[in-house]
Structure 1
Amino acid sequence: MSEDAATALSGVDEDTVRTALIEWYEADHRDYPWRRTDDAYEILVSEVMSQQTQLDRVVDAWQAFLDRWPTVADLAAADRAEVVGFWTSHSLGYNNRAKYLHEAANQVVSEYDGTFPRDPDELSELMGVGPYTANAVASFAFDNGDAVVDTNVKRVLHRAFDVADDDSEFERAAQELMPEGESRIWNNAIMELGGVACEKTPSCDAAGCPWREFCHAYQTADFTAPDVPTQPEFEGSRRQMRGRVVSALEGDRELALDELGPKVRVDYVPGGEYGRDWLRGLLSDLSDDGLVSVDERDGDTVARLRE
């Protein structure tokens, strides 16, 4: 552990800290369905869905997704266009997440005989699975992960123990605090603390935060926290327009530019600001992501979802 991390946790009775948090979590926490399973596939789906969507909104989409593709083999065998269409219809953020999830399912089936790897490093080899998601799946499915460090955890560590606003310091402090071999309950508990008690506007007393007695912020009334990146406005954004393109092509499967344009923007004008050149740019992005095929046919540009 670095000097900064050691200083931040100096004087902290780590056993007391751990016990207080775990007992608080076990006594009462938000009951999300993916917290009641250790199925790696179901947990991966929940992690990918929650990357850009509030957890309460993920519940219905997660259940509907699993009803449609209940196993990793079912997802691997699915038509990718259907998976992308589901993602769009449930407003789950960037459509390439659906594409990567489908490709990851194929990797599990073809490279791992349908059984998920248990180690974060191996899980990171799956398409679209970054270090955070790999560690979350290893933790929640196999109790085999490191300490998870997301925005909520950074906020908690910064406020409670005055950990410096530096990713490496957060990772060191989080790992130091996590009880060895208990990544499942610990990571759930500390993320819950950040989600219900130590939000941007904290609810220390109302949520019964178990760390109040030794929390630096609570003692000093200084609740500043690391800067939190914000998502760009969705309404009218390029991301929204990309989703509309996919939705339109899912229904009609193949459309020329001037047929597709009005389905994406009501103010589409072939030669206008939001016209053919603008639409070709969206299609180029989607083509680069492997979601759309664009062909020139009889003088028209024709787009369709890739199979």
Structure 2
Amino acid sequence: MTDVDAADAADSAGDSPLPPDLDLDAVREALIEWYEADHRPFPWRQTDDAYEIHVSEVMSQQTQLDRVVSAWEDFRERWPTVEDLADADRSDVVAFWTDHSLGYNNRAKYLHEAAGQVVDDYGGEYPETPDELEELMGVGPYTANAVASFAFNTGNAVVDTNVERVTYRAFDVPDDDDAFEAGAQELMPEGKSRVWNNAIMELGGVACGKKPRCDEASCPWREWCHAYQTGDFTAPDVPTQPSFEGSRRQFRGRIVRLLGEHDEMDLDTLGHRIRVDYTPDGEHGQEWLRGLLSDLADDGLVQIKERKEQTTARLQ
């Protein structure tokens, strides 16, 4: 989308969410110069390989980036190409995900299936546009746009919580999804999605976090920033993530980890291994465990076998 297109889109949706007197050229130049002078050297920023970027984007979902680095490097060492991942046993990929505490295991399943699509449907070469990338399993609009931006420089403006917080504070953009999309797109210079999206997310991660570090991080937008001028550093509402400890997600992960170590386990043995207060007829008993296994089966991660005298589970 060109600057003219962005302006037209903003006009069609109403007034631009950005201040009318904002010098876009100066704002863009200041941010890019700040980013290029110094930024966190995450390894996926050193590559334009779509496969490596895809892996990093999936791993980074709701996971601190510092924790992702070692997992990403281990993953790349084990499955260095998209062909290697497509040929891998899915249970090995899921077990890796669990061992590295990378969140929902179905992300590993989708990543594995997407690799197969890239190999089978695209000859091992990733498609280059956000719309095409969304055809891959588990790839939504945000991930598609990020891969297009960082691998091919063909993306639109990325909008994540960092970008929302930055544009809300700096340019008083309303706390509204459409406004954030329009404002972010209007800010991004044409044909520079790779450097721009990296830069604005870096700004949100380093200078304009929950606790702002405007002067310490030499924020390049201080002269235009509404929050810096007023001292009001409130931020858009961000949904609170539920606690992991004691959650269904935690026990799903324990199940996958155990089944990765055993060919097959019966219901009660599995239950006693994942929580100390498991009792077959209790609150956290067979009915509770069957619910977890059913969820995992729906995700294509676990196979449940009902026999006459015993129910067992194994990884798909």
TM-score (norm 1): 0.98
8 Å contact kept, 1:5–1:163: no
Q: Tell me the SS of whatever aligns to 1:31.
A: coil
Any gaps of 5 or more consecutive residues in structure 1?
none
Q: Tell me the SS of whatever aligns to 2:92.
A: helix
Distance 1:4 1:191 in 2: 26
**Correspondence 1:231-270 to 2 at 5 A:** 231-270=241-280
Query: Counterpart of 2:294?
Result: 284
Per mean C-alpha deviation after superposition, the further-off stretch among 89-98 and 226-235 is 226-235
Per mean C-alpha deviation after superposition, the further-off stretch among 147-156 and 165-174 is 165-174
1:29 corresponds to 2:39: yes
Query: Counterpart of 1:77?
Result: 87
Query: Counterpart of 2:183?
Result: 173
Per mean C-alpha deviation after superposition, the further-off stretch among 68-77 and 257-266 is 257-266
Query: Counterpart of 1:8?
Result: 18
Change (3 A) 1:220 1:33: same
1:270 partner letter? P
Give CA deviations for 1:161-190 in whole Å, capped at 9, x if unaligned: 011111111111111110100000000000
1:47 partner letter? E
1:185 corresponds to 2:208: no
Change (3 A) 1:66 1:7: closer
Please, which of 133, 143, 146 is the counterpart of residue 123 of structure 1? Answer: 133
Distance 1:191 1:253 in 2: 43
The alpha-carbon deviation at position 5 of structure 1 amounts to: 5.2
Change (3 A) 1:7 1:242: closer
Q: Tell me the SS of whatever aligns to 2:311.
A: strand
Please, which of 240, 251, 255 is the counterpart of residue 230 of structure 1? Answer: 240
Give CA deviations for 1:220-267 in whole Å, capped at 9, x if unaligned: 111111101121101111000000000110001200101111111111
8 Å contact kept, 1:5–1:169: no
Q: Tell me the SS of whatever aligns to 1:202.
A: coil
1:19 corresponds to 2:29: yes
Query: Counterpart of 1:43?
Result: 53
Query: Counterpart of 1:155?
Result: 165
The alpha-carbon deviation at position 298 of structure 1 amounts to: 3.0
Give CA deviations for 1:94-123 in whole Å, capped at 9, x if unaligned: 000000000000000000010000000000
Please, which of 186, 194, 218 is the counterpart of residue 228 of structure 2? Answer: 218
Q: Tell me the SS of whatever aligns to 1:84.
A: helix
TM-score (norm 2): 0.95
Change (3 A) 1:33 1:5: farther
Identity %: 71
Number of aligned residues: 306
1:138 partner letter? A
Give CA deviations for 1:40-71 in whole Å, capped at 9, x if unaligned: 00000000000021000000000000100000
Query: Counterpart of 2:65?
Result: 55
Query: Counterpart of 2:100?
Result: 90
8 Å contact kept, 1:4–1:169: no
8 Å contact kept, 1:4–1:163: no
8 Å contact kept, 2:17–2:179: no
Q: Tell me the SS of whatever aligns to 1:302.
A: strand
Give CA deviations for 1:181-205 in whole Å, capped at 9, x if unaligned: 0000000000000001111111111
Note the aligned Cα RMSD (angstroms): 0.9
Distance 1:150 1:44 in 2: 16
The alpha-carbon deviation at position 7 of structure 1 amounts to: 5.0
8 Å contact kept, 1:270–1:276: yes
Any gaps of 5 or more consecutive residues in structure 2?
1-9
The alpha-carbon deviation at position 4 of structure 1 amounts to: 5.9
Which 4+ stretches in 1 moved above 6 angstroms? Answer: none
